[in-house]
Amino acid sequence: MRVFCASVATETNTFSPLRTDFSDFSQSFYAAPGQHPETPTLCSAVFPALRKRVQAGEIELIEGTATWAEPGGLVNARTWARLHDEVLDQLRSALPVDAVVLGLHGAMIADGCVDCEGMLIEAVRKIVGPDTCIGVTFDPHSHLSARRVDNADIITVFKEFPHTDFVETGEACVDLTLRAARGEISPVLSVFDVHMIDVLPTSRAPMRGFVDKMLAFEASGQALSISTIHGFMAGDSPDLGAKIIVISDADKSAGDALARDLGMELFSFRGTTKPEFLSVEEALEQARNAKDGPVVIADVWDNPGGGVAGDSTILLRAALDMNMTSMALGTIWDPMAVRLCHAAGEGAELALRFGGKTSAFAGAPIDATVTVVKVAKDAVQSFGTSIVPLGDCAVIRIDGIEVVLNSNRAQAFSPDLFTNLGIDISDRKVLVVKSTNHFHGAFASVAAEILYAAVNGPYPNDPTQTQYTRLTRHLWPIVPAPFELETT
């Protein structure tokens, strides 16, 4: 059996002041055909999963490009055309194939193309024809269009947020795609539109139980696969919002019924799934008064994983005003400040301006005399078995607070963001991370307490106030009773 695979992924915040071009893909992750590392990335876990099948003698694998750009702003048209054409040309050269497996994100929007993944899957279908099985993986923070459902045979989505199951999701996609290509199963997709957009962390109730229920249905054989699309509220897409995907084995009516039941249960959770969001001052004061440390504070909206710059100074400035000490913050994205620190060298003191470069909503730059504690070339952090590049980094100390400055934008995933740069987290009372929930899995085991600080900034975190231009469906909380409006 001949199988082609490729991966093109990013998450587009259409309200971000940033823009995305090919340099963002090459800087974050770009592997030419045959050059994918043994370790998976978030959206390319299908590559190592398929290589296992090669080693088992099951398939002949033809690898295409695998690339990922850190979430950012609108992808420019030239970059999207280059990546789209690159993968399709590779597929044409690989023909004939029995199956195609794509590792995608699902929230890419380019200048002139609102549904990049749908366009790519549809083009793949036109090339391979109706009889070749197409399997796709998505991040749950994506936009599920009819174009994607109509042209894919298998769609699997990370169940967990934080996305600790991205490897399992890739393996499930590969398994179901190969079984379908061999004629062992006849997959049918059922989709239910939940008509809501919310933050749905699965590390806590009620979403924890909901994911466990999906897994139980799969284990019992009631469905081949069940996935939840959470939606990505920072993307101006006509397909914005949560949806349920059930893959049945040639039983569309049962799949539809199960998707609807799960979808209405998910809808019943609306407004109850978020953790408690504190103000900056509340979070800092609670952390300072905690008996034990480290207390982890998540700056949830200045999260590069949501497509913003990650250079907000608002929380740091508040901590300085409150004379906080024994704190480490990771990260503030500022390539120029990193360069100046590298030039000064470890141990140097210098007057440095850092942060607050890209948005009027992220606070003003901080001007201070700082000590350069550590400099590092090509620093990394881990996310499960995946390696996340931070680029050149510098650790600076300012009034008892250590700040990690990075040159590659990345949200915080793991404590090794700090420890790889020489910061002993066990000796810090407070750790501040820029992430909505992906940090939770790795930090929970070392944190005395986890707090979430909602710092308003460039990320559009209130759908009732966001100026969506493409949304035509009714979604909660924009309207209080969307299902009633949909049926009138």
d(CA 7, CA 349): 44
Q: Count Cβ atoms below 10 Å from residue 430 Cβ, excluding itself.
A: 24
d(CA 397, CA 374): 10
Q: Count Cβ atoms below 10 Å from residue 111 Cβ, excluding itself.
A: 13
**pLDDT band at residue 458 under the 50/70/90 scheme:** confident
| Token code pair at residue 419 | 């420890």
**pLDDT band at residue 430 under the 50/70/90 scheme:** very high
Query: Rounded mean pLDDT of the chain?
Result: 97
Q: Count Cβ atoms below 10 Å from residue 371 Cβ, excluding itself.
A: 17
- Assign 320 to helix, strand or coil: helix
The percent of residues in the chain predicted with pLDDT above 70, rounded, is: 100
Say if pTM beats, i.e. exceeds, 0.75: yes
- Report the pLDDT value the prediction gives residue 141, as an integer from 0 to 100: 98
- Report the pLDDT value the prediction gives residue 385, as an integer from 0 to 100: 87
The percent of residues in the chain predicted with pLDDT above 90, rounded, is: 97
d(CA 440, CA 276): 14
- Report the pLDDT value the prediction gives residue 487, as an integer from 0 to 100: 62
d(CA 140, CA 284): 31
Query: Considering only CA atoms, which of 122, 114, 90, 117 is closest in space to residue 106?
Result: 117
β-strands 133-138, 99-104: how paired? parallel
**pLDDT band at residue 488 under the 50/70/90 scheme:** low
Assess contact for 87 and 27: CB atoms under 8 A: no
Residue 192 has pLDDT above 60, yes or no: yes
pLDDT tens for 315-362 read 999 999 999 999 999 999 999 999 999 999 999 999 999 999 999 989
pLDDT tens for 131-143 read 999 999 999 999 9
Residue 4 bridge partners (DSSP)? 62, 100
46-55 helix and 166-181 helix, angle to the nearest 10 degrees = 50
Residue 486 has pLDDT above 80, yes or no: no
DSSP H or E segment with residue 433 = strand 430-433
Assess contact for 100 and 135: CB atoms under 8 A: yes
Residue 452 bridge partners (DSSP)? 277, 298
Strands (E), 242-338: 243-249, 277-278, 295-299, 327-333
All residues at 6 or more sequence positions from 439 whose CB lies less than 8 Å from its CB, including other chains: 162, 296, 298, 411, 412, 413, 414, 433
pLDDT tens for 58-84 read 999 999 999 999 999 999 999 999 999
- Report the pLDDT value the prediction gives residue 318, as an integer from 0 to 100: 97
Q: How many helices (H) and strands (E) does the chain have?
A: 14, 20
d(CA 184, CA 176): 9
Parse the chain into domains and list their residue ranges.
2-268, 277-453
Query: Considering only CA atoms, which of 327, 297, 319 is closest in space to residue 425?
Result: 327
